[in-house]
C-alpha cells in the first residue's frame, strides 16, 4: 500500500498525467511557443522535463518518441514542437542545468495513442511495478529481516531531552 500511495501527485507516478495535461493546455503545435513562453514567465514547471536523478535524455523517452509517431500522429506533432521549444527555453534560462526530456513526457503520448484514458495513467504506472513489488515481498519473507537504508544519526545525543516547542 505504501508504494502505491507514494505515486500520488504530479511527480513520479503522476508525472505522465501532468505531462498530458500540459499538452492538452498547449492544444496544438502552433500554440506551443506562446504557451511555453507564457508559462515560463509565470515560473510554471514544464511537465515531462528534467529528473531528480537522471541528467541526460532518457533513452526510454527516445524509444517512446518514435512509437508516439504512429500511436498518436497529431498529438506527436504537438509534443515534438513542445519538446523542441521547452528544451530551448530551459537551456537558455539555465544552461548549467541538464533539463532533458524524461520518459513521462512521451509515455503520455503513447498511452493516449493506445486509447488509455489519462485518468488511468497513474494506475498503469503502478501496474507495471506490481511484479517488482511482489518480488521484494517474497524476498523479505525468506528471512523476515527489516531492510533499512544505511544511515548515520545526526540528531541530538541519545538520552538528552528534546527542546520544548516554545524554545525551538
Q: Which long-range contacts (CB under 8 A, 24 or more apart) does 39-47 make?
A: 40/89, 40/93, 46/22, 46/86, 46/89, 46/90, 46/99, 47/10, 47/15, 47/18, 47/19, 47/21, 47/22, 47/104, 47/105
What percent of the chain is predicted at pLDDT more than 70?
A: 96
Q: Which of 12, 24, 40, 51 is catalytic?
A: 51
pLDDT in tens, 41-57: 999 999 999 887 777 88
Question: Among the options 12, 40, 91, 104, which is catalytic?
Answer: 104
104 catalytic? Reply is yes
> What are the extents of the domains in the chain?
2-131
What whole-number distance in Å separates Cα of residue 103 and Cα of residue 67? 12
Q: What is the pLDDT of residue 13?
A: 78
Superfamily of chain region 2-131: Cytochrome P450-Terp, domain 2 (1.10.230.10)
Confidence category of residue 6, pLDDT binned at 50, 70, 90: confident
Q: From CA 144, how far away is CA 142, in angstroms rounded?
A: 6
Per-residue pLDDT tens digits for 116-142: 999 999 998 888 888 888 888 888 888
Amino acid at each position: 500500500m505504501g508504494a502505491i500511495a507514494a505515486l500520488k501527485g504530479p511527480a513520479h507516478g503522476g508525472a505522465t498525467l501532468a505531462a498530458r495535461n500540459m499538452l492538452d493546455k498547449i492544444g496544438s503545435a502552433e500554440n506551443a511557443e506562446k504557451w511555453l513562453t507564457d508559462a515560463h514567465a509565470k515560473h510554471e514547471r514544464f511537465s515531462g522535463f528534467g529528473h531528480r536523478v537522471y541528467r541526460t535524455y532518457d533513452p526510454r523517452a527516445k524509444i517512446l518518441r518514435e512509437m508516439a509517431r504512429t500511436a498518436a500522429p497529431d498529438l506527436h506533432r504537438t509534443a515534438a514542437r513542445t519538446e523542441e521549444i521547452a528544451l530551448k527555453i530551459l537551456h537558455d534560462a539555465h544552461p548549467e542545468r541538464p533539463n532533458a526530456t524524461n520518459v513521462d513526457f512521451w509515455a503520455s503520448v503513447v498511452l493516449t495513442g493506445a486509447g488509455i484514458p489519462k485518468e488511468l495513467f497513474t494506475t498503469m504506472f503502478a501496474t507495471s511495478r506490481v511484479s517488482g513489488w511482489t518480488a521484494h515481498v517474497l524476498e523479505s519473507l525468506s528471512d523476515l529481516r527489516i531492510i533499512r537504508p544505511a544511515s548515520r544519526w545526526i540528531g541530538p545525543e541519545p538520552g538528552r531531552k528534546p527542546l520544548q516547542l516554545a524554545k525551538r
